[in-house]
Amino acid sequence: MIREADWYRKRSFYQIWVRSFADGNGDGIGDLYGVYEKLDYVKSLGVDGIWFSPLYPSPNADFGYDISDYKSIHPEYGDLNQFQKVLDKAHALNLAVVMDLVINHTSDEHPWFLESKKGRDNPYSDYYIWRDKPNNWKSILEGEAWEYDETRGQYYLHLFAKKQPDLNMDNPKVREEVKSILRFWLELGVDGFREDVITFISKKEGLPDGLPFIPVINGMPHYKDGPNLMSYLKEFREVCREYNAFQIGEGPMTTVSSVLRYTTGEGKVLDMMFSFDHMLADCLFTQFVRRPFSLIKLKKAFSKWQHALNQKGWNALYLENHDHPRIVSRYGSNRFRRESACMFAACYLFQKGTPFIYQGQEIGMTNIRLRDINHYADLSSRMNFKTHFQHENDEKRMRRIHHSSRDSSRTPMQWSAKRYAGFSTVKPWFYINRNYKEVNVAAQENDSASVLNFYRRCLSLRKHSKTLLWGEYKEYEPGNEHIYLYERSLGDVRYLVLCSFSHISRTVALPRPYRDRKLYLMLCNYEQGAWDEKARDDHFAALGSVLPHRITLQPYETRVYRCRL
Ligand code: GLC
Ligand code: CA
């Protein structure tokens, strides 16, 4: 694809977690045949790109994030030929394709690891991080961060699951492998990479102990933003630059200063990063440690990043992905499912940055509740249940699982009210949310008030507005506990976005600059005339009106106004 510099800033992306997206060959598992058939649907949303969670061969200990072959496609999902077909069709539709790059670790079934564990004197011996004595780091997914290997007679480091041994990025051969992986996919024609836990790839020399009393992340100060991270990322950047490829890094618990370091200036090594602050408005570090939802916290996180990166970097905007439960069930309301799902769209898609939408988010899918912990597929859910909050009874801990499990975003996509939600013709690999008869793509296609069509309107509005793409961000009423109010402005054009996070009606003062002038309602999730198709297509076709100084918003109502000052 021919592209201008920074082409990805204007775009919005759709994330596909292929296993649960669409089953094209009738075995109950989502695949690239299904993706191929659904590309027109993806395009119809108004997005301009796809991020594929890992498609590579994997024993699926961590569902694709444990890779056993970086240059191939998991046989359950298709083959390279089918991938090429998907890629070509995506490009024909002007959808960029971003692959997941998971290089902090491999699967323990990767041939490199199988060789490495054979002994200290083989060519792959230093591909991983081996030690006679472990330090005290905890892993993020599965207990201690070290596992003893009988064959080699040493411990290997795994920051995630036992089946995900960490690569030794200090070994130049490993970095050459990474570059060769990049080239492989870039030569096929992919447009960029989402780089998994990329800030963890360089560990502090000597692997010092972490604080003993901190669970799960005690080693983080010694492996996050490590000493050689910048220089390793520079090497990878050089390869990507040859292809003008896009690189977005995942930065768990990342900070503004790190993001600015990696994504700005001449020596930038990434284009943007996923940060996490706004995912902590109802929990501490993980969803398993729940707190009451605080809109103030959420707004603080939003505005903090909007201001910090303004005119310097660029935000990656998201509310859901394969690691987080569904946003409606978290920050919204099941009772006002449609209203809150639409409100979430407006609350983040109009911020400054590149939006990412996770499969199912665009129809307002919600969390699943399974009765038995053994029915959960995600190993972190099972680990949390077994190891944390042991003083609580099973029922209480199950409730935590219902709120926190990554499986909630990994249930099969709800395409229709047909059997198996139209995801497959046979029993799917995982449980389907019981609400699929009501919440599905087919039902929403022809309903102009649906979440799906609201997303389409939002994305189209964003795409066609210079103000929404490039304008300045400003928040009003930061202390309001129920309503999020923000503005985007460019030249004399202003957009005002109002979002109610309340299950009852709430009144808010119209910000001064908007008083006594004509405002044009561009979008609303309640019937107010904004469903008029003309209003969507021609921004000024809708009749403007002067609003009262106080506006009452209905439960989870959102409105987007435009005006000229
Ligand atoms: C990232 C992925 C997550 C995975 C972890 C280890 O956070 O998004 O799904 O478990 O890295 O690869
Ligand atoms: Ca299949």
Report, as an integer, the average pLDDT of 57-71.
98
Nearest CA residue ID for atom 3, ligand 1: 323
340: how many CB neighbours lie within 10 A of its CB?
Answer: 29
360: tokens are: 């199912």
**Tens of pLDDT along 107-148?**
999 999 999 999 999 999 999 999 999 999 999 999 899 999
Distance 395 CA to ligand 2 centre (A): 35
Q: E strand or H helix at 559, and its extent?
A: strand 558-564
80: how many CB neighbours lie within 10 A of its CB?
Answer: 14
- Of the pLDDT bands very low, low, confident and very high (cuts 50, 70, 90), residue 542 is low
Report, as an integer, the average pLDDT of 441-458.
97
**Tens of pLDDT along 274-295?**
999 999 999 987 778 889 999 9
**Percentage of the chain with pLDDT > 90?**
92
Distance 207 CA to ligand 1 centre (A): 22
Index of the ligand 1 atom closest to the CA of residue 321: 8
Contact 285, 214 (CB under 8 A): no
541 pLDDT more than 70: no
Predicted local confidence at residue 226, as pLDDT: 98
- Total domains in the chain come to 2
- Of 450, 445, 370, 383, nearest to 410 by C-alpha is 370
Task: State whether 490 and 420 are in the same domain.
Answer: no
Ligand nearest to the CA of 35: 2
- Of the pLDDT bands very low, low, confident and very high (cuts 50, 70, 90), residue 3 is low
Ligand nearest to the CA of 18: 2
Nearest CA residue ID for atom 12, ligand 1: 65
Predicted local confidence at residue 215, as pLDDT: 84
Contacts of 416 (CB under 8 A, 6+ apart): 422, 440, 441, 442, 443
The most distant pair of C-alpha atoms in the chain lies apart, rounded to whole Å, by 79
Distance 32 CA to ligand 2 centre (A): 8
Ligand 1 binding residues, C-beta < 6 A: 62, 65, 102, 160, 196-197, 250, 322-323
Task: State whether 325 and 376 are in the same domain.
Answer: yes
Nearest CA residue ID for atom 7, ligand 1: 197
Index of the ligand 1 atom closest to the CA of residue 160: 6
Index of the ligand 1 atom closest to the CA of residue 380: 10
Predicted local confidence at residue 511, as pLDDT: 97
| Torsion angle defined by CA atoms of residues 236, 97, 11 and 478, in that order, rounded to the nearest 10 degrees | -70
- 284 three-class SS: strand
559 pLDDT more than 90: yes
Task: State whether 42 and 90 are in the same domain.
Answer: yes
Classify burial at 163, counting beta carbons within 10 Å of its beta carbon; exposed 0-12, middle 13-18, buried 19 or more: buried
Which member of 196, 225, 320, 323 is catalytic? 196
Index of the ligand 1 atom closest to the CA of residue 65: 12
Nearest CA residue ID for atom 4, ligand 1: 65
Place of tokens 């780089």: 195
Task: State whether 409 and 322 are in the same domain.
Answer: yes
- Of the pLDDT bands very low, low, confident and very high (cuts 50, 70, 90), residue 457 is very high
196 counts as catalytic: yes
Residues lying with their CB under 5 A of ligand 2, a single-atom ion: 23, 25, 27, 29, 31
Task: State whether 402 and 485 are in the same domain.
Answer: no
What pTM was computed for the model? 0.96
534 pLDDT more than 80: no
**Residue from 197, 216, 378 whose mutation best tests the ligand 1 pocket (most atoms within 8 A of CB):** 197
- Of the pLDDT bands very low, low, confident and very high (cuts 50, 70, 90), residue 536 is very low
18: tokens are: 């292929």
**Residue from 65, 68, 378 whose mutation best tests the ligand 1 pocket (most atoms within 8 A of CB):** 65
Predicted local confidence at residue 325, as pLDDT: 96
457: tokens are: 């309107």
**Residue from 62, 70, 223 whose mutation best tests the ligand 1 pocket (most atoms within 8 A of CB):** 62
Task: State whether 332 and 288 are in the same domain.
Answer: yes
* Final residue belonging to a domain, choices 417, 432, 456: 456
In a domain, 151, yes or no: no
In a domain, 150, yes or no: no
- Between 373 and 288, the more confident residue is 373
What whole-number distance in Å separates Cα of residue 326 and Cα of residue 8? 25
* Final residue belonging to a domain, choices 397, 426, 456: 456
Q: E strand or H helix at 74, and its extent?
A: none
In a domain, 330, yes or no: yes
Task: State whether 257 and 191 are in the same domain.
Answer: yes
Identity of residue 366 = T
Contacts of 4 (CB under 8 A, 6+ apart): none
- Of 233, 173, 194, nearest to 98 by C-alpha is 194
- Of the pLDDT bands very low, low, confident and very high (cuts 50, 70, 90), residue 528 is low
89 pLDDT more than 90: yes
What whole-number distance in Å separates Cα of residue 434 and Cα of residue 431? 9
The parent domain of residue 557 ranges over 472-564
Predicted local confidence at residue 514, as pLDDT: 96
206 pLDDT more than 90: yes
Ligand nearest to the CA of 167: 1
Strands 246-250 and 192-195: parallel
Distance 196 CA to ligand 1 centre (A): 6
505: how many CB neighbours lie within 10 A of its CB?
Answer: 11
What whole-number distance in Å separates Cα of residue 554 and Cα of residue 274? 32
Q: How many CA atoms lie within 13 A of 276 on its CB side?
A: 18
Q: E strand or H helix at 508, and its extent?
A: strand 506-509
Predicted local confidence at residue 529, as pLDDT: 46
**Tens of pLDDT along 341-351?**
999 999 999 99
What whole-number distance in Å separates Cα of residue 81 and Cα of residue 78? 8
In a domain, 161, yes or no: no
Q: E strand or H helix at 432, and its extent?
A: none
Q: How far is CA 357 from CA 72, 86, 194, 336, in A?
A: 26, 19, 14, 20
148: how many CB neighbours lie within 10 A of its CB?
Answer: 11
In a domain, 131, yes or no: no
In a domain, 97, yes or no: yes
Task: State whether 450 and 482 are in the same domain.
Answer: no
Report, as an integer, the average pLDDT of 370-387.
95
Task: Give the CATH number for residue 481.
Answer: 2.60.40.1180
Contact 47, 353 (CB under 8 A): no
Index of the ligand 1 atom closest to the CA of residue 62: 10
Which member of 23, 250, 323, 362 is catalytic? 250
22: tokens are: 């669409």
Phi first, then psi, for residue 250 (nearest 5°) are -90, 125
Distance 38 CA to ligand 2 centre (A): 14
Index of the ligand 1 atom closest to the CA of residue 323: 9
475 counts as catalytic: no
What whole-number distance in Å separates Cα of residue 191 and Cα of residue 81? 18
Predicted local confidence at residue 360, as pLDDT: 98
In a domain, 450, yes or no: yes
* Final residue belonging to a domain, choices 456, 485, 520: 456
In a domain, 127, yes or no: no
The string of DSSP codes covering 350-382 is TSSSEEEEETTGGGT------SSGGG---HHHH
**Tens of pLDDT along 163-197?**
999 999 999 999 999 999 999 999 999 999 999 99
**Tens of pLDDT along 211-264?**
988 888 999 999 999 999 999 999 999 999 999 999 999 999 999 999 999 999
Task: State whether 208 and 77 are in the same domain.
Answer: yes
Predicted local confidence at residue 285, as pLDDT: 78
538 pLDDT more than 50: no
Cross-strand partners of 417:
none
Report, as an integer, the average pLDDT of 46-57.
98
Task: State whether 477 and 518 are in the same domain.
Answer: yes
Classify burial at 544, counting beta carbons within 10 Å of its beta carbon; exposed 0-12, middle 13-18, buried 19 or more: middle
Ligand nearest to the CA of 33: 2
Contact 103, 196 (CB under 8 A): yes
**Tens of pLDDT along 24-47?**
999 999 999 999 999 999 999 999
Contacts of 559 (CB under 8 A, 6+ apart): 497, 498, 521, 523, 524, 528, 530, 553
Q: E strand or H helix at 397, and its extent?
A: helix 394-404
Strands 192-195 and 96-101: parallel
Task: State whether 428 and 488 are in the same domain.
Answer: no
Task: State whether 398 and 451 are in the same domain.
Answer: yes
Task: Give the CATH number for residue 66.
Answer: 3.20.20.80
Please give the span between the terminal C-alpha atoms of the chain, in angstroms, as a whole number. Answer: 39
Letter string b/e over residues 239-275, b meaning 16 or more CB atoms within 10 A of that residue's CB = bbeebebbbbbbbbebebebbbbbbeeeebbbbbbbb
What whole-number distance in Å separates Cα of residue 408 and Cα of residue 160? 20
What whole-number distance in Å separates Cα of residue 244 and Cα of residue 6? 9
Phi first, then psi, for residue 464 (nearest 5°) are -95, 10
